[in-house]
Amino acid sequence: TLRVATLLPFVADALEMSSVSSPVVASVRRDLHTPLSAGTIDLGNPHSPNFEKLVESRPDLVVGDRQLHSAIASKVEGLGAEFVLIDTSTVESTLLALSSLASRTGRSSGIDARIQGVRENLEQLHIGEPVRILPLFGAPGSFYAVTERAWLGALATEVGFENIAPAGGNERLPGFVVLNDEILSMLE
């Protein structure tokens, strides 16, 4: 069986929907209060996973986010495990990645039906006339405008909202533009 470690909590959730082999042996936490499934090694948070615990889990396959985890690829690959970086910048790319991972790990039986349900639900959520929005993400000490290059911004566009977040600017994280008075004054 393929031993899977994931640096994304939703990947563990998706793979655990099926009872087929390929156990999720290690995962990051979604939050500080929700425990992981019994027998799953806790890797900490997605932004700084615990490499000692990752080594301890002896994974064959490690799954991470292309934007968030590409900088640690050489470190993870040094463990001897295959490192798969998935694109989670849009809803569709995330669903395609989950389907591919499920197939690869022998778990596609229940996930593909669930993915189709998500696509159908998104179609039903589409609004008729576009509504202009400025999605924001708050972090200690600053706010960011969420662009279409981030999952939430892509979701808003997919269901029919018009995202007025600036396409360029200071992106400390891909898809998140640092807001300041000058940027806010230039928004239409």
Residue from 171, 153, 163 nearest 188 by CA: 163
pLDDT one-digit tens code per residue, 58-74: 999 999 999 889 999 98
Q: What is the pLDDT of residue 61?
A: 93
Q: How confident is the model at residue 32 (pLDDT cuts 50, 70, 90)?
A: confident
Question: DSSP E strands: which ranges in the chain?
Answer: 4-6, 24-27, 41-42, 61-65, 82-86, 132-133, 136-139, 142-146, 162-163, 171-173, 176-178
Per-residue model confidence as pLDDT tens digits over 2-28 = 899 999 999 988 887 765 556 789 999
Model confidence pLDDT, tens digit, residues 93-133: 999 999 888 888 776 667 888 889 999 999 999 998 999 99
Q: Cα-flanking dihedrals φ and ψ of residue 172, to 5°?
A: -75, -30
Handedness of CA 103, 55, 27, 145 (dihedral sign): negative
| pLDDT reported for residue 7 | 96
Tokens at 166, concatenated:
């600036």
Separate counts of helices (H) and strands (E) for the chain: 8, 11
**127 — phi, psi (to 5°)?**
-85, 155
Q: Report whether pLDDT(188) > 80.
A: no
* For range 65-89, the mean pLDDT: 91
pLDDT value of position 173: 78
* Count of Cβ atoms closer than 10 Å to residue 5 Cβ: 31
pLDDT score for 87: 94
Q: Is the model more confident about 172 or about 67?
A: 67
User: How would residue 53 be classed by pLDDT, with cut points 50, 70 and 90?
Assistant: very high
Query: What local confidence, expressed as pLDDT, does residue 22 receive?
Result: 61
State residue 168's pLDDT score: 74
Q: How far apart are CA 95 and CA 114, in angstroms?
A: 10
Return the H-helix or E-strand segment holding 77. Answer: helix 73-77
